Amino acid sequence: MRIGFIGAGSMVAAIARGAVAAGMNGADFLFTDANGVHAPALAREVGGQVASSNGSLAHQVDLLVLGVKPHIQTEVIEQIAHIVRERPDMAVVSLAAGRTLDSMLRDFGAAVPLIRVMPNVNAQVGQSMSAICSQDATEAQLGATERLLSAVGRTVRISEKEFPAFMALASCSPAWVFQIIETLARAGVKHGLTKSSATLIAAQAVAGSADLLLASQERGVNAAQLIDSVCSPNGTTIAGLLAAENAGLSPALVTAVDAAIARDQEVSS
């Protein structure tokens, strides 16, 4: 299967590198970008090719990934719409946040196999959480998209109406987790650790806790049960947890999710 990428920014680069590292053949990848700099560099890195234009790329691939910013996606679609409409065997995959399936289908001017995906920044280290939904795409096209994204992390198929909640939990939350780690590190500095040591300690604790929870879920153990297992009676962990809850830890996180969803609803098209 030939896969084309229009746009060669950080997310496309992470996906292409991850796919090749996972065993996909880079020679099957075609790239274009607006400035003609990033696409050739990425193609050389992964063993792919550069198409002469977006239209040329659309003629040659089985899966076309739109990796451009949301505000210029309509312009790019206008360049390839007539080709896509004539190629029902090819699916278009959009990485653009806030661009709904309906809005993209209006740009194409007809029903075409369309897949909307949302990876997150952790794709850079192969730990993305990506969502997939689609309209008029076949199971084979969905499966190919899923395999591509699974090369850089985990994937989940959801309905488009669930995308705002997914966006808050997966796409926005890394920034919040970075802030939590930064705050824990500063607290560690307050009590005598160096900043670098405190950051390493807090980041590894968060990473390990996430891995433990994912593994535990497969055994039917949930987060609340893990919390109980760590909190000894009259111990340090329960004292800190109750203090954090009293300071508003849980309400603050729910408020962050609510605010992100509200903003997504304002800017989505």
pLDDT value at 268 more than 90: no
Annotated binding site: 6-11, 32, 54
Beta bridge partners of 259: none
According to the model, what pLDDT value does residue 266 have?
87
133 neighbors 109 (Cβ within 8 angstroms): no
Q: Indicate the pLDDT class of residue 269, thresholds 50, 70 and 90.
A: low
pLDDT grade for 40, boundaries at 50, 70 and 90: very high
> 123-181: per-residue pLDDT in tens?
999 999 999 999 999 999 999 999 999 999 999 999 999 999 999 999 999 999 999 99
User: Which percentage of the chain shows pLDDT scores above 90?
Assistant: 95
Q: Output 46 or 36, whichever has higher pLDDT.
A: 46
Task: State pLDDT tens for residues 177-205.
Answer: 999 999 999 999 999 999 999 999 999 99
Q: What percent of the chain has pLDDT over 70?
A: 100
- Is 64 a residue whose pLDDT tops 70? yes
- Rounded (10°) CA dihedral 191, 196, 200, 206: 60
Which residues are annotated binding-site positions for NADP(+)?
A: 6-11, 32
Beta strands 63-66 and 49-50 are unpaired
Q: What is the mean pLDDT of the chain?
A: 96
CATH number attached to the domain at 1-157: 3.40.50.720
Domain boundaries, the chain: 1-157, 167-266
Which residues carry a binding-site annotation for NADPH?
Answer: 54
Mean pLDDT of 226-242: 97
pLDDT at 35: 87
Q: What is the CATH number of domain 167-266?
A: 1.10.3730.10
Considering the entire predicted model, what is its pTM? 0.91
